[in-house]
Amino acid sequence: MHARINLAEQPARPPRGGNAAAGARTLIAAREFSVFYGSKAAVDKASLDIPAGFVTAIIGPSGCGKSTFLRAINRMNDLIPGCSATGGLSLDGQEIYAPEVDVVALRKMIGMVFQKPNPFPKSIFDNVAFGPRIHGTGDRSSLGEIVERSLRRAALWDEVKDRLGDNALGLSGGQQQRLCIARAIAVNPRILLMDEPASALDPRSTARIEDLIGELRGDYTIVIVTHNMQQAARVSDMTAYFYEGRLIEFGDTGEVFTKPKEKHTEDYITGRFG
């Protein structure tokens, strides 16, 4: 069932900066984790701990394996023929790639937002209600409640409350992306994976999405892949830098951006390449 979130009693947001995230409980742990397309390693023996309740950004140039790593967490890579994974990737100590894992239950726990807003060609209501419906919530009134709560949480409610029956494709790009976020959180996930969620949006919509990420921080563990380094610096607590499939550096965002340990990271961040 979907636990009701009382907005008034939200836990205090974890503090930003000051290495707070580095000491937090680990939710997702990768150990020598690799993903192969055929025989080519897209992610090459990455090891990192993603802390619960914080925002972790994954940055790196195109083709560095950051999206592949993200899509490994909810096993979306399973859809790609010839894709395989080795090493350890665990969620709360449970191996994600273990054969007994129920992928449906796993994905229910992990919401995902894609690069291009991809609402279904259905009404706004049906989009948000899609997840709860397939997980067995049938009656209209509790669906309505979930839809309203999710849309409020995604800061979209006021804009669409009078036209929930309209086709979602009639919304603007930024609204569509927030709808996708509402759709993802409607199934009450613990983790939100965001694959360059603002790269297809204009600056204003991007700012709203970034604000929203700040709002959701604390309630969800967020892993965001981004091309935009300013964005990573603005929204994230932890940053992982991937290059050609390998994890080059992982640490507190402030540290990675101000005094990176690796020369390579510094070159990338300062715009020498990428």
Partner 1 sequence: MDPGSRKTFDRSFTAVGYFSIALMAAALVVLLMPIFAKGSGAFVFRGTVENRRLMLEKFGRGDRAAIEAEKAAAAAARAPVYEAIARFEAALDTADAEDRRGYRSDFREVRELVAELLGPAPGRQTPVLIRDQYGQTRWDRASVVLHRILYVEDYDYSDATKMGVKVATPRVERFRGTALEPLFGVLERDARAMLRPRTTFYWRFLFDQSFDAHIFGGIWPELLGTFYLAVGAMLFAVPLGIVAAIYLAEYAGESAFVSMLRTCISSLAGVPSIVFGLFGLAFFINTLRVSPSKSVLAGSLTLALLILPTVIRASEEAIKSVPVAYKEAAMSLGASRWRSIVTVILPAALPGVLTSVIISMGRAAGETAPIIFTAAVSVGKPLAIWQTLSQPTPALPWNIYNLATEHEAVDEIRHVQYGMVLTLVVLVLLLNLAAIVLRARVSKKLRG
Residues that bind partner 1 (CB under 8 A): 74, 76, 79, 81, 104-105, 107-108, 110-112, 114, 116, 118-122, 130-131, 134-135, 166-170, 180, 183-184, 187
What's the closest the beta carbon of residue 167 comes to partner 1, in angstroms?
3
- What is the 3 state secondary structure string of 63-114? CCCHHHHHHHHCCHHHHCCCEEEEEEEEECCEECCCCCCCHHHHHHHEEEEC
* 258 closest CA partner among 232, 226, 222, 225: 232
Nearer residue to partner 1 within complex by CB, 57 or 180: 180
Q: In the complex with partner 1, which residue's Cβ is closer, 119 or 251?
A: 119
Residues 44, 245: contact at Cβ < 8 Å?
Answer: yes
With respect to partner 1, which residue has the nearer C-beta, 97 or 257? 97
Q: Are 2 and 137 in contact (CB under 8 A)?
A: yes
Nearer to partner 1, 98 or 169 (CB): 169
Tell the smallest beta-carbon distance from residue 169 to partner 1 (Å). Answer: 4
Nearest distance from residue 81's CB to partner 1, in Å? 7
Residue 142 buriedness (CB in 10 A; 0-12 / 13-18 / 19+): middle
| Extended strands (E) in the chain | 26-37, 40-51, 55-59, 83-91, 94-95, 110-113, 191-195, 221-225, 238-243, 246-252
Looking at the Cβ atoms of 38 and 170, the one nearer to partner 1 is 170
Nearer to partner 1, 28 or 76 (CB): 76
CB of 74 to partner 1, least distance (A): 6
Provide the phi-psi class of 222: left if phi over 0, else alpha when psi is between -120 and 50, else beta: beta
Quote the least distance from Cβ 272 to partner 1, whole Å: 34
Measured from the CB of residue 221, what is the shortest distance to partner 1 in angstroms?
16
